[in-house]
Structure 1
Amino acid sequence: MCEHIFHVKAKYMLTRLWTVWLLAATGCAVGPDFVRPQPPETERYVPGKQLQETVSADGQIQYFEQGAEIAADWWQLFKSPKLDALVKEAIANNPTLESAQASLRQSQDNLQAGYGVFFPQIDLLGGASRQRFSAARFGSPVSSTFNLFTLSASVSYALDIFGAQRRTVEALSASRDMQHYSVVTTYLTLIGNIVNTVIARAGYEAQIQTTQQLIESQREQIRLTELQMQAGILEYEKPVNLRLQLEVLESSLPRLMQKRSQAEHLLATLIGQFPGEHEFEKIDLADLSLPTILPISLPSSLVRQRPDILLAEAQLHQSSANIGIATAAMFPSFTLNATYGQNNRNLLDIFLSSGNFWSIGTNFVAPLFRGGTLWFQRKAAIDAFQQSRAQYRQTILNALAQVADVLLALEYDAEALQHQSQEIHLAQERMHLMQANYQAGLVNYQQVSIAESQYFQSKLNYLQTLALRLQDTAALFVALGGGWWNIEEKTRSPRDDEILFDVKLSEEETDKVKTD
């Protein structure tokens, strides 16, 4: 009997709730529906014609392939297994990336929790009490003491007629997207910093070695000029000037060593290790190959690929949803409530039909006067949307400017390296000529030493530009978004076998990123 009563009543209430849910589903969601901003119509990053290739420097030309796809593992184009190992270790152990992934999981959980508002809220209530009833107020001397046991179930459902709940979930979804692109941004920045720091460290090491060679050459010049001064051939001023140049060179050496150490400490931090416990495996400039084929995304594709732009777009979406939330707060809210239960003075008889009770109804709350609070909250939401829209536009402008800067930097790096390659070739040729003339007795050793110093100084400038060219190449891949959208589903983080970004884009969203 008891089971039959609960079945009939539950079926009745669920039927009513289903009907109300259908009515609520047909309601309107107030506020603007978010529309994705159109990509910029510009087709180039720099004024004039499209860049096709750089000049040849060291026999290497970098070609720009317009509209080509960017590899997700772009750092492997430098062809350094040691660099690849560092990147893999950083992805596995970097605390900043781990923190961003945890924030993404948190936002995903909040979104899943937000979906619960679309379902009825069902609670089970139970109680047991002992009460004394005084009949004196009714003119009767008889009073009684009794037990009361209650067991009931309540169902409530918020009718989302004006879309407040739908806009709230929409805002949570946009927040999840923001965290997703924050993870991608962290991931891309991490890899970019690893590659950039490895190149910087290799450049400092090469400069240190060349500076030490230059110092030895300078010391030899000083020794020879001092001998000539003692013989009365040269004045005292000449060796003094050379010693001054030597001091300048030697003072630059500790600064280079400091920068090398700082680069090593930064690398240790990026891969999640303590600097004092990290043993760095040296990577020289010669271990790094220059990528010669550089894919260039069109500006219209860039805004669908760079994670910072997509994050700004998600923030714009969230601001749009917040307008709907603030607007819906100005309209009435409706809630359907239903309760069914049993009570009895005897616990064993609680399921007897004589003790059942039920209720069903609805209530609403309509704001009549709030002193302008709701109006200005909606106005503030609109202002926040306009702010997000301006920030989105600024993010796009900054992104396009960054790509333009890097493209021209690569062009100028190649031109500078071309001249410095010729300079170092001529300096080396002159040094060899002086060495041959010295062996033939045509010049003194001081002239040989001067030629060697000029060669090492030219080499020092060359190494700086060579490292800069490699760094600017890495910066181009980062500026173009790093190809994260091409990561295959099988690509996983070494940590706990988790998917790198935890919450993946759907196939439809992934295809949209590729084709837009």
Structure 2
Amino acid sequence: MNKSRYPIVIASLLLAGCINMQPNYERPAAPIPAQWQPSAGQAKLTGDTLSAELGWEQFFTDNELKKLIRQSLENNRDLRVASLNIEKARAQYQIQRAALFPKVNGTVSGTNQRMMLNLPTGPMTFNSHQYSANLGFSSYEMDFFGRISSLRDQAVYQYLSTEEAKRSAQISLVSEVANAYLTLAADSESLALARETLRTQQATFDLSKRQLALGSINELTLRQVETSVETARVNVAKYMTQVDQDRNALALLVGEPPNINLEQVNNLQAVSQTASLPDGLPSTVLQNRPDVLEAERTLQANNANIGAARAAFFPTISLTASAGLASPELGSLFSGNNHVWSFAPQIVLPIFNGGLNKANLKVAEVSREISVAQYEKAIQTAFKEVSDALALRATLEEQLSAQTAQVNATQRSFVLSRARFEKGLDSYLTVLDAQRSYYAAQQTLISVRLSEVSNQVTLYKVLGGGAF
């Protein structure tokens, strides 16, 4: 090639925007196994459908819960902040994008000046007038080395990061509302159980007082019955407080008074039905989790920032130009041959800045490496969350079966102990102990059922479910 053509080729490449200092982006390899390997007592997933395709409206089947979720998505304040952060990031992107275009301004100015000159004939004063109207741009940087486009790309990825943060907040909010709703149902059911226990114990206590008056029992037995009554009263008060707190938690999550009757949320089994999660999810599905994508967008933003830091080592070329009219008389500004123009290109070549550009580049490169580590940690955390949920899922069915059997056994023990007491074979202390065991087993069964459905909600969340 003719060497005299080199400058022309280089200039063509620059004007075409072909020089980009950004490193080529490659998604880091996920530092996790390709599949969730079931360990002892751990469930596994064995199909090929992504849970992210299953929206929350399909996953949750209770209509009242769906109403609460819709209400929370419209009114929750944390979610509103996430939405406003998106608007802010979008505006910041527009600011960076605007730097790619010249800022054209129109100006109209007038200058009036009184001057004094010392002439051989003596001092002389005179007035000068200058009026102008111009259209032009100043300090427009030609993005030959991609500094401005790299900053624009960085702003784009930051904007996308905030969008993923909002999606993550939405999924978390949906799961929090669902779990709060289910917890309210479980605590309301526990409250009903405590009230029923108090009712039966109070009836037994009233009967025991009559028996004491007839002399068929002693006062010790009466006080033992009274102990069980007071214990039941304590449990009722405890669950009444818990139910009120559950309702308050729901109101906070929803962002306004719930538009459903929370008094009717009193049976866990009636509201705990969900769609079945698909099986066979490879661990690569975690790369589509919003929080993981958020970490990746941050990594891409820092990768783009390296391009801007590299471009700072090269000359900055900026243009200032204007064209318009000028006249010493305002009345003749727009008539006659008053055309003026100016063109002032400027090249700034960095020579010495005390290592500032090198330090900025090092900061950008280290920031990218930090983002890589944060992205990998996000993937590992997601994998752990799913593994934990699967480990619990594998044993919950066995827990539920065992707890149901325990309820049946303690119920039978309670019935037999009461029969033996009524026949005078045992003291009431035996009945009291059997009754406590039966009550505790029933409460634990409610807790296990809550854990089972909460595990489904958690697994749905940590797999990145909930299309928005």
TM-score (norm 1): 0.77
Q: What is the DSSP-based 3-state SS (H/G/I as helix, E as strand, rest coil) of the residue aligned with 2:99?
A: helix
- Residues of 2 paired with 1:297 and 1:373: CA distance? 52
- Residues of 2 paired with 1:357 and 1:114: CA distance? 32
* 1:253 Cα deviation from its structure 2 partner: 3.3
- Residues of 1 paired with 2:414 and 2:387: CA distance? 40
1:160 to 115, 140, 143: 143
* 1:171 Cα deviation from its structure 2 partner: 0.8
Say whether 1:420 aligns with 2:403: yes
Cα 1:286–1:370 shift into 2, 3 Å: same
* 1:411 Cα deviation from its structure 2 partner: 1.9
Q: Which residue of 2 aligns with 1:68?
A: 49
Aligned-partner residue type, residue 38 of structure 1: A
* 1:229 Cα deviation from its structure 2 partner: 7.8
Say whether 1:122 aligns with 2:75: no
Contact 1:31–1:323, Cα closer than 8 Å, also in 2:
yes
Contact 1:200–1:467, Cα closer than 8 Å, also in 2:
yes
C-alpha RMSD over aligned residues: 3.5
- 1:406-444 CA-partner distances (Å, limit 9, x unpaired): 111122222111101122234445667788x79x98989
- 1:104-157 CA-partner distances (Å, limit 9, x unpaired): 122112212322222222111110222223332787744321332101122343
* 1:393 Cα deviation from its structure 2 partner: 1.3
Q: Which residue of 2 aligns with 1:291?
A: 274
2:384 to 372, 378, 401: 401
Spell out the pairing of 1:27-426 with structure 2 (5 A cutoff).
Answer: 27-40=18-31, 42-48=33-39, 64=45, 66-70=47-51, 71-74=53-56, 76-136=58-118, 141-156=123-138, 157-219=140-202, 243-244=226-227, 246-273=229-256, 280-283=262-265, 284-291=267-274, 293-296=276-279, 298-352=281-335, 354-426=337-409
- Residues of 2 paired with 1:77 and 1:49: CA distance? 28
Corresponding pairs, count? 454
- Residues of 1 paired with 2:347 and 2:238: CA distance? 72
Contact 1:211–1:460, Cα closer than 8 Å, also in 2:
no
Aligned-partner residue type, residue 24 of structure 1: L
Gapped runs of 5+ residues in structure 2? 1-9
Cα 1:87–1:292 shift into 2, 3 Å: closer
- Residues of 1 paired with 2:60 and 2:414: CA distance? 32
* 1:396 Cα deviation from its structure 2 partner: 1.1
Aligned-partner residue type, residue 379 of structure 2: I
- Residues of 2 paired with 1:335 and 1:96: CA distance? 44
Aligned-partner residue type, residue 69 of structure 1: L
Q: Which residue of 2 aligns with 1:23?
A: 14
* 1:220 Cα deviation from its structure 2 partner: 5.3
* 1:93 Cα deviation from its structure 2 partner: 1.7
Contact 2:411–2:438, Cα closer than 8 Å, also in 1:
yes
- Residues of 1 paired with 2:102 and 2:15: CA distance? 12
Q: Percent identity?
A: 23
Cα 1:273–1:289 shift into 2, 3 Å: closer
- 1:307-332 CA-partner distances (Å, limit 9, x unpaired): 11111111111222222222222322
* 1:345 Cα deviation from its structure 2 partner: 1.5
- Residues of 1 paired with 2:296 and 2:105: CA distance? 39
Contact 1:31–1:325, Cα closer than 8 Å, also in 2:
yes
Contact 2:36–2:283, Cα closer than 8 Å, also in 1:
no
* 1:449 Cα deviation from its structure 2 partner: 7.7
Cα 1:296–1:170 shift into 2, 3 Å: farther
Moved more, 177-186 or 155-164: 155-164
- Residues of 2 paired with 1:139 and 1:258: CA distance? 104
- Residues of 2 paired with 1:264 and 1:166: CA distance? 51
* 1:204 Cα deviation from its structure 2 partner: 0.6
Cα 1:292–1:379 shift into 2, 3 Å: same
- 1:138-191 CA-partner distances (Å, limit 9, x unpaired): 877443213321011223431112211011001101110111011101111111
Gapped runs of 5+ residues in structure 1? 1-18, 54-63, 488-516
Q: Which residue of 1 aligns with 2:3?
A: none
Cα 1:106–1:191 shift into 2, 3 Å: same
Contact 1:218–1:453, Cα closer than 8 Å, also in 2:
no
- 1:192-231 CA-partner distances (Å, limit 9, x unpaired): 1110000001111111111222334445566677778888
- Residues of 1 paired with 2:454 and 2:39: CA distance? 25
- Residues of 2 paired with 1:249 and 1:409: CA distance? 32
TM-score (norm 2): 0.85
Q: Which residue of 2 aligns with 1:492?
A: none
Q: What is the DSSP-based 3-state SS (H/G/I as helix, E as strand, rest coil) of the residue aligned with 2:288?
A: coil
